[in-house]
Amino acid sequence: MNCTYHFKSPISMICIAPHKCQRKLCVQCLYDHGVDIIKTVPIEKFQKMAMQKLKDTKLDEISKLTQQRMAFKVLLSQTEQMLKKILEELSQSIKSVYDWIEKENQSFINIINKNINLVESSYIDIEKLVNIEEGSTLNDWNAEKNSYMIEQDKKKNWWGQHIQAFIEKSKNGIEQIQSLYNDEEEYQM
């Protein structure tokens, strides 16, 4: 390729001095350039130097990059599995508590509805009805049920706060990862 300033002269040197210039020099440009000859390198030699520098930095080796990418994929997959398991266990736990409360409520309703004819009722059913009538059984059950409901509310609030904190930390982590990429894009521009 010939020089854009000296059309008959081929480009033969590259200026590596730490300043802004056209970098590609022909013999006449080198003479006019005014930079120490040590700061210019023949094109063939410069190309070998640049290639050697690339080899030395091992940019073409992607094994570390691939390993790190795979490690992130494994981490995300494991996290997803753990979160699914935790949510399933949490869901089952919540369901079992509410199912148990409903079952207990229904058992009291059934005792009352079942014993329309008290003369034919069993001693155990009559005893339960007497305790209900006296108020101690239902009062005890309502107190116990309310304590379970309060405890469930506390757990719900605790989970809500921790999930929100987890989401915020996750968003911050994602933003930090994205900012690395965005900063590099801006630098290249």
- How does pLDDT run across 79-131, given as a tens digit for each residue? 999 999 999 999 999 999 999 999 988 887 877 777 567 777 777 777 777 87
Question: Do 92 and 48 sit in the same domain of this protein?
Answer: no
Query: Is the residue at 133 inside a domain?
Result: yes
Write out the residue range of the structural domain in which residue 28 sits: 13-57
Question: Do 166 and 123 sit in the same domain of this protein?
Answer: yes
Question: Do 116 and 180 sit in the same domain of this protein?
Answer: yes
Query: Is the residue at 88 inside a domain?
Result: yes
pTM beyond 0.95: the answer is: no
pLDDT at 92: 94
pLDDT at 86: 92
Within 10 angstroms of residue 57's Cβ, the number of other Cβ atoms is 9
Question: Do 144 and 105 sit in the same domain of this protein?
Answer: yes
Q: Name residue, tokens 């063939």.
A: 44
pLDDT at 80: 94
Q: Are 138 and 108 in contact (CB under 8 A)?
A: yes
**Does pLDDT of 2 surpass 60?**
yes
Question: Do 167 and 101 sit in the same domain of this protein?
Answer: yes
Name the strands in the sheet holding 40-42, side by side, starting at the edge strand that comes first in the sequence.
Answer: 24-25, 13-15, 40-42
Question: Do 99 and 51 sit in the same domain of this protein?
Answer: no
Query: Is the residue at 8 inside a domain?
Result: no
- How does pLDDT run across 140-170, given as a tens digit for each residue? 888 999 999 999 999 999 999 999 999 999 9
Q: Are 151 and 143 in contact (CB under 8 A)?
A: no
Query: Is the residue at 66 inside a domain?
Result: no
